[in-house]
Structure 1
């Protein structure tokens, strides 16, 4: 009997180069990243050990590695890169990635959300 879980990394705040406008190209900005991974295991984890499940640390450290020293022009390409990172683990069947730039407008955040599956 397979077991399905949703593993979530919610509200990861990073400072990174993202955007196409002159002010976005000139300086890093705050970006909020959220990831939901639908993970499938052959059986429900029977032991209370991290090596029995997907450790979400790899997503957090992977996002930090993706953005280090790189400027993304589009939130769409950032989302795609994060989705590919998650789907590299064969247990992840589906991933939802959302990014948001909360400081572009004084009254609204702007973002992108994608869903990718095997």
Structure 2
């Protein structure tokens, strides 16, 4: 798989990532899914221009803090039930792009416990801001 860093608008960026962040969420359209939480794995890639993320004083405020990704996801989880993984991905990517330093974001979700004969089912979305 090609890296998004090869995209012409992202060649001057660094990529921050959060891998397989496991959350329990009430997600799904079927009645049995609405009765309890399911395990979902969330992955995030943030693309941040080097000019906005290269520390000169080795200080946290010079970069995008990893906590931003986890706290943003936690806020979405606290909003309650979501029917579709597509909606969840769209919500999370929109929130990630709201950060003023983030130029692009990739978000994927995977429900690992749906089928016994595969690792999981999921959705991925990638968006680039026009103005950063």
1:92 aligns with 2:102: yes
What is the CA-CA distance between 1:97 and the residue it aligns to? 0.2
Question: Does the residue aligned with 2:99 lie in a helix, a strand or coil?
Answer: coil
How many residues are matched?
117
Partner of 2:15: 6
Q: Which runs of 5+ in 2 are unaligned?
A: 1-11
Report the alpha carbon displacement of residue 42 of structure 1 after superposing the two structures with TM: 2.4
- Runs of 4+ aligned residues of structure 1 deviating over 3 Å after TM superposition are none
In the other structure, the counterpart of 2:64 is 54
Structure showing greater relative contact order (alpha-carbon pairs closer than 8 Å, 6 or more residues apart): 1
CA distance in 2, matches of 1:70, 1:31: 14
Q: CA deviation at 1:64?
A: 1.0
Contact 1:59 1:85 in 2 (8 A): no
Q: TM-score, normalised by structure 1?
A: 0.92
What residue number does 1:80 align with?
Answer: 90
Provide the aligned C-alpha RMSD in A.
Answer: 1.6
TM-score, normalization: structure 2?
0.83
Q: Is the 8 A contact 1:41 1:91 kept in 2?
A: no
CA drift of 1:84 comes to 1.0
Secondary structure in 2 matching 1:114: strand
> 1:62 Cα deviation (Å)?
1.4
Q: Take 2:61 and 2:70, find their aligned partners in 1: how far apart are those partners? A: 17
